[in-house]
Amino acid sequence: AQKVTQAQTEISVVEKEDVTLDCVYETRDTTYYLFWYKQPPSGELVFLIRRNSFDEQNEISGRYSWNFQKSTSSFNFTITASQVVDSAVYFCALSGWGSNYKLTFGKGTLLTVNP
């Protein structure tokens, strides 16, 4: 069985603060992919990043960075110098070799960035 845990239900920060969203996953698959999606207040789901289980290099995209650590089964997401527009629900998701054709989502973290 696969499981994704986002222990932080809600996070509130002030603009320009850095914030890290945690994601811990469980899978028996040796080959799997991890994803982050953003759901802004308008409701759509926006794909942010995909990382496979064989690539533990950290990735940076502008103010966003991701830290993948297989040793702790974590795939954490950091927003540097947060902005009000970053306010959204962020979902971590997992797709394993034994579970093609679906994503298993965490329960999401609501990030509120206050001006």
Q: Establish if 102 lies at the interface with another protein (CB under 8 A).
A: yes
- In the bound state with another protein, the residue whose beta carbon lies nearer, of 80 and 110, is 110
Q: How far is the CA of 58 from the CAs of 50, 61, 70, 84, in angstroms?
A: 12, 10, 12, 25
For residues 74 and 5, the answer to whether their CB atoms sit within 8 Å is: no
Question: Rounded to whole angstroms, how far apart are CA atoms 92 and 104?
Answer: 9
Distance between CA atoms of residues 28 and 25, nearest Å? 10
Q: Among residues 31 and 69, whose Cβ is nearest to another protein? A: 31
* Residue 101: CB minimum distance to another protein, A: 4
* Binds another protein by CB under 8 A, chosen from 21, 68, 96, 113: 96
Q: Which stretch binds another protein (CB under 8 A): 13-21, 33-41, 70-78, 80-88?
A: 33-41
- Type of residue found at 82: S
Q: Which is nearer to another protein, 64 or 105 (CB)?
A: 105
The set of residues, in sequence order, having a beta carbon less than 8 Å from that of 16 and lying 6+ positions away, is 81, 82, 83
Q: Could you say whether residue 5 binds another protein (CB under 8 A)?
A: no
Question: Which residues of this chain interact with another protein, rule CB under 8 A?
Answer: 31-33, 35, 37, 39, 43-47, 50, 52, 89, 91, 95-97, 100-105, 107-108, 110
